[in-house]
């Protein structure tokens, strides 16, 4: 896979992160090639914490992907061009518990390094090492109206990962 991708420093990323995550969406993937899962996400962010480049994502404990995130020390965030919108919709609707999502979505998982599964079709991949996890707690909602996002009380777990590698698809 790396033949098709160039490694850049997170400082060199030119994508607008609000559009990247909020509008284009991403796949959060954890596990190993033979035993991994992925899901679509549109909430999260990037920034600097503890002097490190970090990426944050939030995952409800009801997601199958949550189990893989819990069992893994690492995860990836993969971003795609617009032609993969349908694939991201599938990965955001179907659960890996119910069948092979990769096949349904037509995307090819590749394991760059042990425990770092991303996709051949991605245009940008952030490889992350878990630094910090935290369960969102309703009694910490300064704005109590946020509780409307949790009718089932399945509060997200927040994962903050150090971005250990940032891979950008080479233009052909």
Ligand X SMILES: Cc1cc2nc3c(=O)[nH]c(=O)nc-3n(C[C@H](O)[C@H](O)[C@H](O)COP(=O)(O)O)c2cc1C
Q: How far is the CB of 143 from ligand X (least distance, A)?
A: 19
Closest residue to ligand X in the complex (CB): 92
For residues 99 and 170, which CB has a smaller minimum distance to ligand X in the complex?
Answer: 99
- Give the closest residue to 166 by CA, choosing from 3, 7, 4: 7
| Angle value at C-alpha 171, between 169 and 172, nearest 5 degrees | 120
Q: How far is the CB of 97 from ligand X (least distance, A)?
A: 6
Name the minimum Å distance from CB 151 to ligand X. Answer: 14
DSSP string, 104-160: HHT--EEEEETTEEEETT-SEEEEEEEEEEEE--GGG-SSGGGGGG-TT--PPEEEE
- Give the residue with the Cβ less far from ligand X, 41 or 125: 41
Binding site for ligand X (CB under 6 A): 25, 37, 39-43, 58-60, 63-65, 92-97
């Amino acid at each position: 896979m790396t033949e098709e991708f160039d490694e850049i420093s997170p400082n060199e990323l030119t994508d607008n992160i609000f559009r990247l995550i909020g509008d284009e969406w991403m796949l959060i993937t954890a596990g190993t090639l033979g035993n991994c899962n992925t899901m679509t996400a549109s909430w999260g962010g990037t920034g600097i914490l503890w002097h490190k480049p970090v990426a944050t994502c939030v995952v409800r404990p009801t997601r199958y992907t949550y189990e893989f995130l819990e069992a893994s020390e690492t995860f990836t965030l993969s971003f795609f061009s617009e032609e993969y919108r349908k694939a991201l919709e599938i990965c955001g609707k179907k659960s890996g518990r119910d069948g092979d999502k990769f096949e349904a979505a037509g995307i090819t998982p590749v394991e760059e390094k042990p425990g770092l599964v991303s996709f051949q079709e991605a245009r940008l991949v952030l490889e992350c090492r878990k630094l910090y996890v935290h369960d969102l707690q309703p009694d910490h909602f300064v704005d109590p109206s946020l509780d409307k996002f949790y009718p089932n009380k399945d509060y997200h777990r927040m994962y903050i990962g150090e971005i250990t590698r940032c891979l950008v698809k080479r233009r052909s």
